[in-house]
Structure formats: C-alpha cells, structure tokens
Amino acid sequence: MRHGAWPHMGQIVLIVLVLTLVATACGQRGATRQQQEVTLYLDWAIDGLHAPFFVALKKGWFEEAGLKVDIQPGQGSSDAVKVVGSGKAQFGFADAATMTKGAAAGAPVKMVAVLVRRTPAVFICKKGSGITAIKDLAGKSIGDAPQTATATLLPAVLEANGSKMADIKFVAMTFPARVPAVLEGKVDCALGYAQEFVMIRDKVDFLPYYQFGINSYSSGIMVNTDFLKNNADAVRRFVQAALRGHEFVLQNAKEAAEIAASYSKEPQNNTAYFIGELEVMVPYYADDEVTKNGHGWMSDDRWKITQDLMRKYGGQEKELALTDLYTNEFLKK
Amino acid sequence: MAWELLARRGDIPTFVLPPPSRIVSFTLGHWQSMLYHAAVTIRQALLGFLLSVSIGIFLGVVIVQSKFLEEALFPLLITSQVIPTIAIAPLLVLWLGFGSAPKIAVAFLISFFPIVINTVTGLKAVEADLLYLVRGLSATRWQELFKVRFPNALPYLFAGFRVSITLSLIGGVVGEFVSADQGLGFLILTGAGRLLTEQVFASIGLLGLAGIALFNLVRVLERLILPWEASENIG
C-alpha cells in the first residue's frame, strides 16, 4: 500500500463514527415521523368480537394515533397470553381469567381495558327441555371438551347455586361434537360461549354462567408489561383508538360486522354471522361499571372474583396483587 | 356413491358429515377463495420440500463421506424426528414470526428425514465391483461420489422424494394449525370451530387432490430423468 493513497486508521475511525452518529440521528428523526409498528394478537380467527380493532384500522384511527397495527389471529386465549407474554406481539385480546392464570405462571402481561365484561360461558339446552335454572340440571348430562374454560368453570357455576359435579353427568366429547350432541338429544345440555351458538339461537335455550353467580371479567386488551414500561404513551394511544372502535361497534353493528368480515380471508362472507354475534353480545358489553365509568373500566372487586375463580377452580397457584393484573390508567383521554 | 346415499338418507346431520354433493357445491361456490388458500398451503409445502431436498441430500452425502460425522449426526437427526412437531411448532412461530416461515420450517422438519435416509442408502448401495473398478483406476473419493455413487443412488433419491413431498404437505398444514390466517389448515380449523363442516371437508378434499398432484409431479420428473427405472416403479 502506498502511503497517503488510503486514509489511515484514525481517519477511518473518525469517518465511521460520524456516519454512525448521522445515521442514528436520522433514524430517530425518521422513527418519530413514522408509524410505530405494533402487533395485536387475537384469541381466535377474525370474529365479530374483534370488530372494534378492525373498525379502528379501517377508519384510520390507529394511523391517526401514530400506530401501524398488524392484527394476527390466534388459537385461544392461552395461546394469546403466551404470544403476548413472549413479546412477539405487544398487544393481545384475551379472556381475563385465562390471562390471570398465565400472569400468575410468570407471563409478563396486564389488562388495560376490558370489553367483554361478563364471561360468555353458557349452557345450551335443547328448546323445550324445561331447564331454566341450575337446579334443573340435577341428573342431566352435560357435554363439553374437557380442557376448555367452560368445562373448567362448570364446578364453579354448579357450586354457586348449591349444586355439585356429582349431581350431574359430565360427558367428555370433542369440541365440534357439542352442538350435534345437544340437537340430537345425545346430551341434555352442552357448554360453550354464547357467540358460538349464533346459528342455533332458535333451537336452544341459553343459561349464561353470569346470570348464575359467575362474575368474572372476560375478553379485553392486554399488553406485554415490558413493552408497557417503555411505551406507555403508545399503549394509551392504542387503547383510545380501540375504545373508539368499540363505541362505534356498539352503535353500528352492521357496518362493524361488514368491516371485520372484509378483513377475514375465509371463503364465506361472515357478515351475517358477525352481526348475530354482536347481537348476542349486547348484554356482555354493558354493566353498572360502564354506565358509571365508561367502556374498558375495571374494578378491584370483579378482578378479585376473577382471580379467586382461577385459584379455586382453574389450577392457578400463585396469587398476584390486583395492581399487577390490570390498570385503568390508559382509559382517560 | 355410498357416502352420498348415506348422508342423504338423513341419518347423519349435515354438520357432522355433509353429502359429497354439498361439499362439491361449496368448493365450486367459493372456488376463488378455496384455490387461493390451497395455493398458500401448496406453496409453503413446496418450499419446505425444496429445503428438504437440498439439506437432506447434503446431509446424506456428508454422512456417507465421513464416518465421524455419521456417528455425530445420526442421534441428532433421530431426535429431531421423535420430538412431536406439534410441540416445536409454537416455538418456531415465536422465532420466525407470523408469516410463511414457520410453516415452511415445519414442512421441512417433517419431510427431510426420508431424503437423508434414502440418500445414504442409495449412495452406499453401489455394487462392490463397480467401486473396485473405479478405485483401481485411481478415482478420488469425491470422483467416486459424483461419478459412481450418485447416479446409482438416483432411484433411491426419488423414492425419498415421493415420500417427502406428501409429508411436506402434512407439515405445511400442521404449521397452519398452530398459527395462520390463511391456507387449507386454517380453513379446516376455523371451519371446525364455526361448525362449517362443508368448509372442513372441502379443504380436506383439496388437500387430498394437492397431495396426489404433487406426488405425480415427482413421478413425472423421475420418468424424465430416469426413464429406464421409472417404468418398474408402482408408486
């Protein structure tokens, strides 16, 4: 190498340093102008209950909030808790009780708004069965897939009404077999979530768990707590946009269902199904706490009930402080 | 035929076992969407298969050429096959994200082993006389590999490909069962959840057709490359 033909070491280091500083500065300026990319992981394939998020996406409310939201379908609330806990998704939509169990097992998650305020768990019994209360279930056969949340809480709803598991006959079956089993009379009742049974509303009677003493919260927005530590403002903006979507859904079920269906890649148009789901969900979106404090708001009382249920019936071992499980701080504008 | 009659007699409710006529009409009625989802799954399976072919053959060659590596690699390979993929798949999603990558990875994991085994078997199953001949002519180990072992192993390789391509389709679907928003596996799962049994069976039907098509693709390739062997093979 000829002397002077190439910059020597010191000069190279200086150039590299300057370039790095410039790049970082540019990068930071760029980031604040760009949208912050976040992922929302759902508890299932795109459903009517996810409409608030798709409305916020379609109407540009997330974009206004400086967020580029990628919405991913999931495989159950446990799956969502695992994925958000891993940090792969920053936000998730999952059941509060399932989230509580996951958090107690170490998942760094916290709920920042609850949308489905009561558990949608229901008994479905063939119309004309005459079963209108839990005591009517004595001696009856009840079918469900054994590992579901509804089966897990079955002893809870029985005991809340003076019954016990020994009073009924639990029939284990696969998830898709429940509805045929009830409609064909193979079991007296089956368990599931209210919105699953939209298509057979006219063929079955519903006994909602919440009307018989189970007062846990259900699905809401959860956030990875490590993400929350450094991005509190982004969390606030996300929650605000999502709540705006939620309020829109409550007023415009049909349009909301159409928007959600437009994002689904399933072959059939699910609009009618989603509208049905939203109709079924109406009582689950409202309660006294909402009337007093607005949507998304959560209370210590109901969270205590939720955690206690999981500790008594759900196999949760550790008890967490309620402040570790939820916060209302992002609900105010 | 029997299926159609059985389903129509009314004994079996449509949401448990729909008659084939309804499955076909569902498929035709949503053919664009069904084809789209089929293409997604097939693409992921094929990419997994191509990975299996390249990495599988590479590992097979390595094992044949080095006794040390054979003993080091085999336990690892067997372990990779014994661990249920359904347990690894969620981890793959965590590492590789929500797109096609984890599905391709699962397809690869499920389908590469037969190619390794068949490559090793094929490369080793050379007539001893042939090897003595070329060694007598001072062939290096690598010349021996490419000029004698490899051509001899081709029928074995293709047998491995035939098994592997069907496995890669299964792998792609398993990957979708774990996390997906499209594809035939996604349709099967969501269809089952929403009691859309026609969708489930239509997807299964398309999966079967895809499997047959891919299998035959390998057979056609084999016929082109090894015309003297292919006629002797049944499947």
**Average pLDDT of each block of 10 consecutive residues along chain B (235 residues)?**
61 69 91 96 97 95 90 91 87 90 95 95 84 82 78 91 96 92 93 85 95 95 80 52
Question: Are both A178 and A229 inside the same structural domain?
Answer: no
Domain boundary among A181, A196, A212: A212
Task: Report pLDDT for A9.
Answer: 62
Task: Report pLDDT for A162.
Answer: 94
Class of domain B40-75+86-227: mainly alpha
Question: Are both A319 and A223 inside the same structural domain?
Answer: yes
Where are the strands (E) in chain A, listed by range?
Answer: 36-41, 67-72, 91-95, 109-114, 121-126, 141-144, 169-172, 189-193, 204-208, 219-224
Domain boundary among A188, A212, A236: A212
Per DSSP, the three-state class of A224 is strand
Q: Determine contact: B36 vs chain A, CB below 8 A.
A: yes
Question: Are both A168 and A314 inside the same structural domain?
Answer: no
Q: Determine contact: A74 vs chain B, CB below 8 A.
A: yes
Tell whether A331 is covered by a domain. Answer: no
Residue A3 has pLDDT above 60, yes or no: no
Q: What is the CATH number of the domain that holds A282?
A: 3.40.190.10
Task: Report pLDDT for B197.
Answer: 85
Question: Are both A182 and A144 inside the same structural domain?
Answer: yes
Task: Report pLDDT for B151.
Answer: 84
Question: Are both A169 and A265 inside the same structural domain?
Answer: no
Q: How far is A38 from chain B (nearest CA, A)?
A: 13
DSSP code per residue over chain B: -HHHHHHHTTSS-TTTS--HHHHHHHHHHTHHHHHHHHHHHHHHHHHHHHHHHHHHHHHHHHHHH-HHHHHHHHHHHHHHHHS-HHHHHHHHHHHH-SSSHHHHHHHHHHHHHHHHHHHHHHHH---HHHHHHHHHTT--HHHIIIIIIHHHHHHHHHHHHHHHHHHHHHHHHHHHHHS-SSSHHHHHHHHHHTT-HHHHHHHHHHHHHHHHHHHHHHHHHHHHH-HHHHTT---
Confidence band, pLDDT 50/70/90 cuts, at residue A16: low
Question: Are both A162 and A260 inside the same structural domain?
Answer: no
Digit-coded pLDDT (tens) for A259-305: 999 999 999 888 999 999 999 999 999 999 999 999 999 999 999 99
User: Comparing A164-178, A240-254, B39-53, which segment has the lowest mean pLDDT?
Assistant: A164-178
Contact B193 A45 (CB under 8 A): yes
Question: Are both A227 and A134 inside the same structural domain?
Answer: no
Show the domain range for A46: 35-118+216-325
Confidence band, pLDDT 50/70/90 cuts, at residue A21: low
Question: Are both A41 and A106 inside the same structural domain?
Answer: yes
Residue of B12, B195, B203 for testing the chain A interface, max A β-carbons within 10 Å = B195
Chain B residues close to A75, C-beta within 8 Å: 178-179, 189
Summary mean pLDDT of chain A? 90
Chain-centre distance for alpha carbon A196: 15
Residue A103 has pLDDT above 60, yes or no: yes
Return the domain boundaries, chain B: 40-75+86-227
Question: Are both A321 and A194 inside the same structural domain?
Answer: no
Contact B94 A176 (CB under 8 A): no
Task: Report pLDDT for B138.
Answer: 82
Neighbours of A236 (CB within 10 A): 17
Residue B139: phi and psi, rounded to 5, are: -70, 140
Question: Are both A220 and A294 inside the same structural domain?
Answer: yes
Contact A199 B195 (CB under 8 A): yes
Domains contained in chain A, number = 2
User: Comparing A60-64, A140-144, A145-149, which segment has the lowest mean pLDDT?
Assistant: A145-149
Question: Are both A168 and A181 inside the same structural domain?
Answer: yes
CA distances from B167 to A206, B164, B214 (A): 44, 5, 11
Residue of B23, B41, B178, B179 for testing the chain A interface, max A β-carbons within 10 Å = B179
Tell whether A66 is covered by a domain. Answer: yes
Residue A74: phi and psi, rounded to 5, are: -130, -170
Q: How far is A75 from chain B (nearest CA, A)?
A: 7
Chain A residues close to B13, C-beta within 8 Å: 180, 183-184
Per DSSP, the three-state class of A205 is strand
**Chain A residue with Cα closest to B190:** A45
Contact A45 B189 (CB under 8 A): yes
Residue A271: phi and psi, rounded to 5, are: -55, -50
Domain boundary among A186, A212, A238: A212
Tell whether A10 is covered by a domain. Answer: no
Q: How far is A316 from chain B (nearest CA, A)?
A: 23
Amino acid at A172: A
- Residues 199-258 on A with a CB inside 8 Å of B are 199
Task: Report pLDDT for A31.
Answer: 45
* Tokens coding B223: 């016929």
Tell whether A318 is covered by a domain. Answer: yes
Tell whether A15 is covered by a domain. Answer: no
Tell whether A190 is covered by a domain. Answer: yes
